[in-house]
Amino acid sequence: MKRILLACSSGMSTSLLVQKMKEAAEKRGIEAEIWAVAQDKAESEMSHADCLLIGPQMRFLKKKLEKTAEANGIPLDIIDPIAYGRIDGEAVLIKALDLIGE
Amino acid sequence: MNKFMTFLENVLLPIADKLNNNRYLTALRDGFMVALPLIIFGSIFVVIANFPFLDRILSKSAYQAYQNALGPASQATLSIMGLFVIIGIGYKLLQRYGGEAIYGGIVAIASFLILTPQTVEKVAGVIPAASLGAQGMFLGILTAFTSVELYRFFVNKNWTIKMPQGVPDAVSRSFSSLIPITLTLTVFLIIRILFSLTPYETVQNFIYTVLQEPLTALGSGLAATIVAVILIQIFWFFGLHGQIIVNSVFDPIWYTLNNQNLEAFQHGQALPNIITKQFVDSFLVGMGGSGMTLAVVILIFIIGRSRQIKELGKLGGPAGIFNVNEPIIFGLPIIMNPLVLIPWIIAPVVVTIVTYFSMATGLVPKPAGIIVPWTTPIVLNGFLATGNAWQGGVLQLVNLLIVMAIWWPFLKVLDKNYYEKEKSGAQ
């Protein structure tokens, strides 16, 4: 079970991506829990996630979130802007799996 | 051009970083987030209490009874939103420091109440509701910051009462905050007493006169709003969330102006402000998202020929109706795309000016102080924001046409570019 957390300003635009990522995961037969939250919830949600992806428009939060991510021992990264614009669930899923390290 | 872009990005990212990671601004923004459900709840009942035509259908006394019955919904939430924002700020700030957050919330609100007038026209034992709303907003924010800092200072001094072993954890925790809270509140009591000796009489009055009034006067002007709009657009152009960054500075001003209008609206008086929180949220963001990209989506369906653009219209359209436009911003793309820089910045400025003057001349009612959720679709959004006035909805449609006209030539060029690339790529 892979647990992938996405965060943006209010969790709206990342939730578009969540749907596409879920479809991509299903197609590949990967069991994954993928969800999106607003940035102020990101820190508390990290405790039950395997990795965190940040919307590119909120990339200035990386430094702040990095500390909590480290404390939780999970990797984090910023979603590629082009994949974000295309709502390319597959590309982002692959990136998430890469981050988790499988 | 590329070098210049990299330079700007290098300037903007640290600004965004500073503004967003500043602990006070973060606490401020999160504090407003805490209050938001209550603000929306109150707004819903202001809308219901002021449904159009009801005043003509119902008799005067029946309409009054109807409004009185629904009044407490907004009076207990939206009208005194300062109260909830202060608790939220105090809580979030102390949480960030790793303290027991709830004490941050209560020390902030108690400090604020100590500074608040407790008599109305010589009647003691009352707190004027207005001081918990628009009037006390700035004092509330400042008090929340300073009281939590003081509280933390006293906690760190370790003058806490140490409990012997075997005392349950919760018990010793409640004692451990006793001394810091006592000292913090005493400081605020002294501040109150000192101010009562000055011509301002209360701290509320002092902050209101020297800080809040000048700042809100500045923020309610067209010039400051245009500056804010341009900043939002520039941040977005570099792919940074413009509202989140700019709002953290402007929200206290915009919400204060908003509540002044709400008070006037509920008392049937003339609305004082054009620029309010809802002016920005409905007429600048509420048309498909920042930069009014719903107009771009519609244009795509009208003039789009390239596959890439048409695909984007289908992808970004449904979300755009609810004012989520990241697909358009990152997909068109708008970020770092010199081709669309001009309409991206000019269109919102033109719309700001048009909206401002259509309200200044009385053609369209001013925002009624109702907070409409930002995901509310166009037309309905403008209708609700102006206190159930159809002119508000129509104005949004007019604005939409303006944005479409400004974007037309630029989108045409962009589309042609993509179209030719696709054609040559296919051969």
Q: What is the pLDDT along chain B (427 residues), one digit of tens a residue?
A: 567 767 777 777 788 777 777 889 889 988 888 998 999 899 889 888 888 778 788 888 998 899 899 989 999 999 999 999 999 999 999 998 988 899 999 999 999 999 998 888 888 888 888 889 888 889 999 999 999 999 999 988 877 666 777 777 777 666 778 889 999 999 999 999 999 999 888 888 899 888 888 989 989 999 999 999 999 999 888 888 888 888 888 999 999 999 999 989 988 899 999 999 999 999 987 788 888 999 999 999 999 999 989 989 998 888 889 888 888 998 888 988 888 999 999 999 999 999 999 999 999 999 999 999 888 999 999 999 999 999 999 999 999 999 999 999 999 999 998 999 888 876 5
CA distance A9 to chain B (A): 7
Same domain (yes/no): B118, B150: yes
A39, A60, A86: which to substitute to probe chain B, counting the most B Cβ within 10 Å? A60
Terminal-residue alpha carbon distance, chain B: 31
Sequence-distant contacts of B200-204: CB under 8 A, at least 24 apart: B202/B115, B202/B116, B202/B117, B203/B115, B203/B139, B204/B115, B204/B116, B204/B117, B204/B131, B204/B135, B204/B136, B204/B139
Does the predicted model carry a pTM greater than 0.95?
no
Which member of A60, A64, A86 has the closest CB to residue B13?
Answer: A60
Pairwise CB contact (< 8 Å): A9 & B330: no
Its sign, for the CA torsion B96, B98, B99, B101, is positive
CATH number of A2-100: 3.40.50.2300
Residue with tokens 């924002």: B85
- Which member of A5, A8, A42, A93 is catalytic? A8
- Measure the CA–CA gap between B62 and A50, rounded to whole angstroms: 59
- Measure the CA–CA gap between B287 and B379, rounded to whole angstroms: 9
A64 → chain B, closest CA residue = B21
Q: Tell me, what's the ipTM? A: 0.80
Helix/strand/coil percent split, chain A, to 5 = 60, 20, 20
Task: Write the burial class of residue A73 (CB in 10 Å: 0-12 exposed, 13-18 middle, 19+ buried).
Answer: exposed
Q: Are A9 and A39 in contact (CB under 8 A)?
A: yes
Q: How many domains does chain B have?
A: 2
- Measure the CA–CA gap between B355 and B377, rounded to whole angstroms: 18
Same domain (yes/no): B198, B244: no
Pairwise CB contact (< 8 Å): A86 & B327: yes
Q: Which residues of B touch chain A, with CB atoms under 8 Å apart?
A: 13, 16-17, 20-21, 29-30, 33, 236, 239-241, 243-245, 312, 315, 319, 322, 324-333, 335, 375
Enumerate the H helices of B76-157 as residue ranges: 81-97, 101-115, 137-156
For A1-95, strand residue ranges (E) read 2-8, 32-38, 51-54, 76-78
Residue with tokens 């996405």: A6
Q: Are B98 and B112 in contact (CB under 8 A)?
A: no
Same domain (yes/no): B347, B315: yes
Same domain (yes/no): B353, B236: yes
Same domain (yes/no): B247, B385: yes
Question: Phi first, then psi: what are they for A86, rounded to 5°?
Answer: -85, 0
Same domain (yes/no): B199, B279: no
Q: Which domain holds residue B411?
A: 227-426
Where are the domains positioned within chain A?
2-100
Same domain (yes/no): B170, B259: no
